[in-house]
Amino acid sequence: MQQRIVCHIDFDYFYAQCEELRKPELKTRPIVVCVYSDRGGDSGAVATANYQARKYGVKSGMPIKFAKRKLEDVPDAVFLPTDFDYYSEISESAMKVIREYADVFEYVGRDEAYLDVTKRSGGDFAKAAHLAQQLKNAIRSNVRLSSTIGISANKLVSKIASDFKKPDGLTMVEPEKIESFLDPLPIKSIPGIGKKSEEKFLEMGLRTISDLKKLDVFKLNSLFGRKIGTYIYNAARGIDEYPVSPKGDPIQYSRIITLKQDAKDFEFLSKDLEQLCTDIHDAIVKDNLVFKSVGIQFVQEDLSNRTKSKTLKNPTSSLEELKKTALLLLRELLEDQRLLVRRLGVKVSEFTEVSGQADITNFF
């Protein structure tokens, strides 16, 4: 039986890196991307910061006011609001590249994914490391993102490994090295160990994963309950049997392009729309999915958005049906369109996985 090999990929300081892509002149400056609340002013929290900002102590989750205080003597620091539509667009482009390198692909969020690469690496960790480096290079050349990858025999250790050398790192932990890799790490390195749990362990004089292993499973169960206690006990030993699973895929696929010129002419827009449909259809067929909802999006010349969608009577994977519905929505949106369209997008959602030829299972 082949040795299972799993990669965890994480895009470095993702939201801030996306902003650097959009405005390359910001790359040398501290960037703080913020989720502003509806209370106005500086109310809200830091979503992420680039490494220039982190040098000054800015962290994700920090109140914006605190972040501004830390950077008050840094005149070129930049505070930007989140733009999740834009980040999703960049993420989808990167995920499309990642899928090509996986036997099994599991979407986790905009900035991370798991890949089972057992078959294509032949269970060989050296080949898996070479594949991971090729993937990092492909993402950099196609999407211009830097990323960090952890490689091990399971998801848990791969995730910990991907956080070990940031940014732009690659860490491989072979099965016989799991114990020596994990033991010296702080307990908070284990995914799911939050601040309160860490403080509880510190009160007990436990700082590293090696220290944590002094507690038996019964003690951990009494502290955290059976489910979490058992998880922590196994995690400290690098034990994780959960397979990489495609169930975590995004609930919609979308493609969006900037038009060669701003327009609102049906004939002009329809050509690009049909190509977008073809691109999405390729991804749907590859992932063995059928869809029930189709939508189109306009980003207008004033950068405002217009969208329109339609739910089909029956799930389908038909390219003809996708194009027909998208073109119908295009005509309907253009009926009262006053502003020129700058960007055009298509999305499909309400997926069902196809098992065999016609059996429909696994509703998202």
Domain boundaries, the chain: 1-174, 183-236, 249-361
Residue 146 has pLDDT above 70, yes or no: yes
Comparing 58-72, 183-197, 285-299, which segment has the lowest mean pLDDT? 285-299
Comparing 37-41, 56-60, 146-150, which segment has the lowest mean pLDDT? 37-41
Comparing 116-125, 194-203, 233-242, which segment has the lowest mean pLDDT? 194-203
Name the active-site residue from 25, 112, 176, 321: 112
Between CA 144 and CA 46, with CA 300 as vertex, the angle to 5 degrees is 50
Equal fold, 1-174 vs 183-236: no
Q: What is the mean pLDDT of residues 223-252?
A: 85
Q: What is the DSSP letter of 208?
A: B
Taking each helix axis from N to C terminus, what angle separates 125-143 and 84-99, rounded to the nearest 10 degrees? 140
Tell me which architecture the domain covering 183-236 has in CATH. Answer: Orthogonal Bundle (1.10)
C-alpha span between 325 and 198 (Å, rounded): 53
In the CATH hierarchy, which top-level class contains the domain 1-174?
Answer: alpha beta
Residue 249 has pLDDT above 60, yes or no: no
Residue 359 — pLDDT band, cuts 50, 70, 90? very low
Q: What is the mean pLDDT of residues 285-297?
A: 85
Q: What is the mean pLDDT of residues 89-104?
A: 92
Residue 361 — pLDDT band, cuts 50, 70, 90? very low
Residue 89 — pLDDT band, cuts 50, 70, 90? confident
What pLDDT score was predicted for residue 245? 87
What pLDDT score was predicted for residue 299? 87
Q: What is the mean pLDDT of residues 49-68?
A: 93
What distances in angstroms separate CA 37 from CA 29, 34, 41, 49, one per listed residue?
A: 24, 9, 9, 18
What pLDDT score was predicted for residue 284? 84
Q: What is the mean pLDDT of residues 359-364?
A: 26
Instruction: Write the pLDDT tens digit of every residue in 160-202.
Output: 999 998 889 999 999 999 999 999 999 999 998 888 889 999 9
Residue 350 has pLDDT above 70, yes or no: yes
What pLDDT score was predicted for residue 66? 94
| More reliable by pLDDT, 16 or 283 | 16
Q: What is the mean pLDDT of residues 114-140?
A: 96
Give yes or no for a contact between 193 and 187, defined as CB atoms under 8 angstroms apart.
Answer: yes
C-alpha span between 364 and 353 (Å, rounded): 8
Residue 236 — pLDDT band, cuts 50, 70, 90? very high
What pLDDT score was predicted for residue 163? 92
What pLDDT score was predicted for residue 188? 93
Answer yes or no: CATH 3.30.1490.100 is held by domain 249-361.
yes
SS3 content of the chain, % helix, strand, coil (to 5): 40, 25, 30
* Helical (H) or strand (E) element with 236: helix 226-236
Residue 305 — pLDDT band, cuts 50, 70, 90? confident
Residue 241 has pLDDT above 60, yes or no: yes
112 belongs to the catalytic site: yes
